[in-house]
């Protein structure tokens, strides 16, 4: 049996970032993934400022190297359209916390981004990466936690970080997180080439369609004239309204007036693929005796934007920092590891709480249209919306009914 003080299950953004932070602190770990890299991950491929902030803390040079890669685009804003087809381009508000040459966000195929991260992991002698190792079960004793693969291989550790994504069995046991349709989104995506009409600063596009609210249709531009195209909605509404996401996506491409011309010369390059997004809905423990959950395995995806990479990055980093403290204290108890939850929620809890309240407002087409009708004419409102992407105090107001009433009345 292999022995390793700390094991990490899953080498996506949450797991690879946790391993790299541990290595930075001089701590050895074993990183297990069922896949062999490079491997793809179904995603919209939008990489937000949170990921950049975490990588900047990990190693500014590594982030600069990543930023120079030809497989990613630098993105400077967001294009939103409302059910009545009104379109608004909003630059991401620059909070000046990052080096000037870096954009507010990247867009990269996950195949390339995750592989870039794994190549960094592979350079690191302190990380024992085991690919093709699917963890099937865990067992805890008073002093250890042991992970066993389908092939019967085992790793015994003092502590485990479960970062094995949306379908993690460990989310429920030992994590105690039970998912239901309301807090799980289904997303489908495909790649197109030849879509026209992108913003020249590579804005990501969220198109809010009447039958998809509060979900949306996205187009995220990529290098070489490709784009990631997809739709996402919570599973509760999909069942209730009997929505066929694939049909809805192709109908929009063919019929929505503000989309169809842009797809006139476009070619679908890959098949449509679907995957679940475990959404955050309330504060709950994300650690316990000898374990922490990170990324999708902790159900941390933003319930409005569907963004999960940033939260995976932050939780991976904070789990590694807590693991370091646990090693120093020789304490892997539930009580000690609880500080991880606290640090995570201190960092991002407010943002998640605000996001969880927004779908109830944006699910109404008339309200969305009304606000957009005003916003396209008002520079002040556009600036507020731009700021709301990054400034929590501004975003808080997005779930105040009075804000919408004032906007609709033009006050």
Ligand X SMILES: Cc1cc2nc3c(=O)[nH]c(=O)nc-3n(C[C@H](O)[C@H](O)[C@H](O)COP(=O)(O)OP(=O)(O)OC[C@H]3O[C@@H](n4cnc5c(N)ncnc54)[C@H](O)[C@@H]3O)c2cc1C
CA distance 100 to 260: 37
Cα-based angle 18, 4, 7 (whole degrees, multiple of 5): 35
If one asks whether residue 109 binds ligand X (CB under 6 A), the answer comes out as: no
Residues in region 298-327 near ligand X by CB under 6 A = 301, 306-310, 312
Between 106 and 263, CB nearer to ligand X: 106
If one asks whether residue 230 binds ligand X (CB under 6 A), the answer comes out as: yes
- 199 within 8 A of 273, measured Cβ to Cβ: no
Say whether 288 sits in a helix, a strand or coil.
strand
Say whether 338 sits in a helix, a strand or coil.
helix
Per-position x/- string for 161-180, each x denoting binding to ligand X as judged by CB under 6 A, each - no binding:
--xxxx--------------
Q: Which residues contact 262 (CB under 8 A, 6 or more apart)?
A: 195, 196, 197
CA distance 132 to 135: 10
**Which residue among 5, 25, 28, 35 contacts ligand X (CB under 6 A)?**
35
Between 286 and 371, CB nearer to ligand X: 286
Q: What backbone torsions phi and psi does residue 216 show, to the nearest 5 degrees?
A: -155, 165
Supply the DSSP symbol for 298: G
Other C-beta atoms lying within 10 Å of the C-beta of residue 258: 15
Window of 252-260, 284-292, 294-302, 345-353 that interacts with ligand X by CB under 6 A: 294-302
Between 23 and 32, CB nearer to ligand X: 32
If one asks whether residue 9 binds ligand X (CB under 6 A), the answer comes out as: yes
Between 253 and 407, CB nearer to ligand X: 253
Helical ranges in 330-378 per DSSP H = 334-357, 359-362, 365-375
- Minimum Å gap between C-beta 126 and ligand X is 20
- Minimum Å gap between C-beta 208 and ligand X is 16
**Which residue among 8, 23, 29, 34 contacts ligand X (CB under 6 A)?**
34
Between 104 and 370, CB nearer to ligand X: 104
Q: What is the rounded radius of gyration, in angstroms, for the C-alpha atoms of the chain?
A: 21
Kindly list the residues in this chain that would bind ligand X in the complex (CB under 6 A): 9-15, 32-35, 41-46, 48, 134-135, 163-166, 187, 189, 230, 232, 275, 277, 295-297, 301, 306-310, 312
């Amino acid at each position: 049996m292999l022995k390793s003080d700390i094991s990490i299950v899953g080498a996506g953004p949450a797991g690879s970032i946790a391993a790299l932070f541990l290595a930075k602190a001089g701590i050895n770990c074993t990183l297990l993934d069922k896949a062999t890299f490079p491997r793809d991950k179904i995603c919209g491929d939008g990489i937000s400022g949170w990921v950049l902030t975490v990588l900047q803390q990990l190693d500014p040079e590594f982030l600069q190297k990543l930023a120079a890669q030809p497989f990613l685009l630098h993105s400077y804003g967001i294009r939103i359209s409302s059910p009545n087809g009104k379109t608004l381009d909003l630059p991401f508000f620059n909070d000046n916390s990052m080096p000037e040459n870096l954009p507010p966000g990247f867009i990269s195929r996950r195949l390339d981004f995750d592989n870039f991260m794994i190549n960094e992991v592979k350079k690191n002698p302190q990380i024992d990466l085991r690919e093709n190792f699917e963890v099937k079960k865990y067992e805890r004793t008073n002093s250890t936690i042991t992970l066993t693969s389908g092939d019967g291989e085992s790793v015994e550790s003092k502590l485990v970080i479960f970062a094995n994504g949306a379908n993690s069995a460990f989310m429920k046991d030992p994590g105690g997180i039970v998912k239901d349709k309301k807090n799980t989104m289904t997303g489908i995506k495909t790649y197109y080439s030849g879509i026209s009409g992108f913003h020249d600063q590579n804005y990501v596009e969220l198109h809010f369609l009447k039958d998809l609210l509060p979900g949306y249709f996205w187009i995220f531009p990529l290098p070489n004239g490709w784009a990631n195209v997809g739709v996402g909605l919570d599973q509760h509404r999909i069942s209730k309204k009997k929505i066929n996401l694939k049909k809805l996506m192709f109908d929009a491409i063919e019929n929505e007036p503000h989309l169809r011309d842009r797809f006139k010369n476009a070619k679908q390059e890959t098949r449509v693929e679907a995957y679940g997004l475990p959404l955050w809905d309330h504060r709950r423990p994300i650690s316990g005796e000898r374990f922490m959950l990170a990324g999708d395995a902790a159900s941390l995806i933003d319930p409005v934007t569907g963004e999960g990479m940033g939260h995976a990055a932050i939780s991976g980093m904070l789990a590694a920092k807590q693991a370091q403290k646990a090693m120093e204290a020789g304490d892997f108890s539930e009580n000690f590891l609880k500080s991880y939850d606290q640090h995570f929620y201190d960092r991002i809890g407010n943002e998640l709480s605000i996001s969880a309240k927004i779908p109830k407002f944006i699910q109404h087409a008339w309200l969305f249209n009304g606000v957009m009708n005003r916003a396209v004419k008002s520079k002040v409102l556009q600036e507020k919306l731009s700021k709301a992407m990054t400034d929590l105090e501004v975003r808080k107001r997005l779930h105040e009914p009075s804000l919408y009433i004032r906007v609709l009345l033009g006050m």
